[in-house]
Amino acid sequence: MKGKERGLPVKEDGSCAHLVGSLCSIYELRPDICKVEAMSFARPGQSRKDYYIEATKACHILIDYQGMDESFKIDPEEYNKE
């Protein structure tokens, strides 16, 4: 275990300690910072899709900052396939 980041335990690779494979092991009890749905209305008039794209890009910055593996990144273009 690496320590804590924003109050959450983190593994040596920089990922959340509650991440098991690609799934959150505390999903139903996760903290607000992890609840994209609850946080997605920060900007009036912004569509949910645009919020997801913006949030994904921000996550990429954090992934790079933490030195995490590129496999944690999601291509923002995935949101355009709906």
Mean pLDDT, range 9-29, rounded to an integer: 86
Q: pTM for the full model?
A: 0.54
Residue 22, CA distances (Å) to 19, 43, 73 in order: 6, 28, 12
Q: Do 51 and 82 sit in the same domain of this protein? A: yes
What is the average pLDDT value for the chain, to the nearest integer?
Answer: 80
Q: Write down the pLDDT at residue 48.
A: 78
Residue 2: pLDDT band by 50, 70, 90 thresholds? low
Q: How far is residue 57's CA from residue 31's CA, in Å, rounded to a whole number?
A: 21
Same domain, 62 and 29: no
Same domain, 5 and 44: no
Question: In terms of residue numbers, what domain contains 9?
Answer: 1-34
Q: What share of the chain is helix, strand, coil (3-state, %, to 5)?
A: 45, 15, 40
If one counts the domains in the chain, the total is 2
Strand pairing report for 8-10 and 19-20? unpaired
Tens digits of residue pLDDT in 31-69: 877 876 666 666 777 787 888 888 888 888 888 888 888
